[in-house]
């Protein structure tokens, strides 16, 4: 058993608190940005990817926040609409951010008259980097924690209660971060000239990993368990899994 009593604040600059969660976004974006520019063989795409980053940052923040508001806690925010803007209080949805990124890629691709799946594939190949840092910060913050268990690698989140729980954040960091990164990179060079397939693989494998890991993760207290005793995250993952399969077959049919 591991005792988790980490401080969510990484360090202070005068009276300003720098939190691990903020650092995870910064590191994820910066390293992902660098990796995208390094891995693509198209110099033109590499150059204009710098312009795409501003779209990406806005999409992640707005999409992630609105996704959480409308999918995970709509009742609260309908009563307290001003708090929608208070992103520093926490509350971001990965699936909401993903929808934001899809919209931003579509807008940017149309503006540059380039296939938007080229940008989506680059984001997909680097997204596991950000997911890894994000889940590690979730673990440090004692949030999105797992269900109660007696397994020997269980974790006691002191800030939550005295129960021993699954370190579901670490499971996600490993499977949605490290393993997903390896899988996508194995296919990238072979599929770089077939825009959309890497995006489909991302949707398929991320959703698959997320769905099963959610069985070890505590349901959101304000929602609980839904149909067939599934969580909101599992239901949304099923929808994105279907979208990934559909995209895969669509892109393969176009190739044929």
Arithmetic mean of pLDDT, 224-243:
94
Please report, rounded to a whole number, the percentage of residues in the chain having pLDDT higher than 90. 69
Domain boundaries, the chain: 2-190
pLDDT at 30 over 80: yes
Given pLDDT bands bounded at 50, 70 and 90, which one contains residue 35? very high
Q: Is the pLDDT at 28 greater than 60, yes or no?
A: yes
Neighbours of 45 (CB within 10 A): 17
Say if residue 130's pLDDT is above 80: yes
pLDDT for position 218: 94
| Band of residue 256 on the pLDDT scale cut at 50, 70, 90 | low
Cα-based distances in Å from 249 to 103, 106, 242, 243, 256: 21, 20, 11, 10, 11
Stated pTM of the model: 0.92
Q: What is the DSSP string of 126-138?
A: HHHHHHHHHHHHH
Mean pLDDT, the chain, integer = 91
**pLDDT of 147 strictly over 60:** yes
Kindly indicate the confidence band of residue 254, based on its pLDDT and cuts at 50, 70 and 90. low
pLDDT for res 192: 81
pLDDT in tens, 61-70: 999 999 999 9
**Residues 145 and 125 sit within 8 Å (Cβ to Cβ):** no
Instruction: Give the number of other CB atoms < 10 A from CB of residue 105.
Output: 25
Q: Which two tokens stand for residue 232?
A: 């909101």
């Amino acid at each position: 058993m591991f005792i988790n009593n980490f401080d969510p604040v990484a360090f202070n600059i005068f009276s300003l608190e720098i939190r691990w969660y903020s650092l995870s976004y910064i590191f994820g974006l910066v390293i992902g940005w660098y990796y995208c520019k390094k891995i693509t063989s198209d110099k033109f795409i590499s150059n204009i990817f710098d312009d795409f980053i501003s779209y990406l940052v806005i999409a992640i923040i707005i999409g992630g926040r609105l996704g959480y508001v409308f999918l995970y806690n709509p009742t609260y925010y309908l009563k307290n609409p001003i708090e929608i803007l208070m992103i520093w209080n926490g509350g971001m949805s990965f699936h909401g951010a993903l929808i934001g990124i899809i919209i931003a890629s579509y807008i940017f691709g149309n503006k540059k008259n380039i296939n938007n799946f080229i940008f989506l594939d680059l984001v997909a190949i680097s997204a596991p980097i950000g997911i890894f840092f994000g889940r590690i910060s979730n673990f440090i913050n004692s949030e999105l924690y797992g269900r109660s268990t007696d397994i020997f690698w269980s974790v006691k989140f002191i800030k939550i209660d005295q129960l021993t729980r699954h370190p579901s954040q670490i499971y996600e960091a490993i499977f949605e971060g490290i393993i997903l990164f390896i899988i996508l990179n194995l296919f990238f060079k072979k599929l770089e000239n077939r825009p959309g397939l890497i995006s489909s693989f991302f949707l398929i494998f991320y959703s698959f990993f997320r769905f099963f890991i959610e069985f070890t993760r505590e349901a959101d207290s304000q929602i609980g368990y839904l149909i067939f005793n599934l969580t909101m995250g599992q239901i949304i993952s099923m929808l994105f899994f279907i979208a990934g399969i559909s995209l895969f077959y669509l892109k393969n049919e176009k190739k044929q």
